[in-house]
């Protein structure tokens, strides 16, 4: 009989930063870990790391405890 229990996939919580003439724009996303690294989904922009982690859990991912900085040129 097959095991039907689902194991949550891992995800990173990213702090994204985009330079702007008026100061850096900062937001948070969760990114599933695929092939050993985070894969951005780019379909959400959250105001806090907690809200990004909550969204990751809602989509079946277990977010990492740490936040990874990611700068967008």
Cα separation, 30 vs 59, in Å, equals: 10
Enter the tokens of residue 56.
């990751």
Place of tokens 């989904």: 41
Cα separation, 6 vs 50, in Å, equals: 23
pLDDT tens for each residue of 16-72: 999 989 999 999 999 999 999 999 987 889 999 999 999 999 999 999 999 999 888
Q: Is the pTM of this model over 0.85?
A: no
């Amino acid at each position: 009989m097959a095991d039907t229990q689902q194991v949550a996939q891992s995800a990173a919580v990213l702090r994204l930063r985009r330079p702007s003439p008026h100061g850096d724009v900062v937001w948070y996303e969760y990114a599933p870990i695929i092939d050993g690294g985070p894969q951005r989904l780019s379909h959400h922009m959250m105001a806090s790391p907690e809200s990004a982690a909550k969204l990751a859990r809602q989509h079946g991912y277990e977010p990492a405890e740490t936040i990874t900085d990611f700068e967008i040129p």
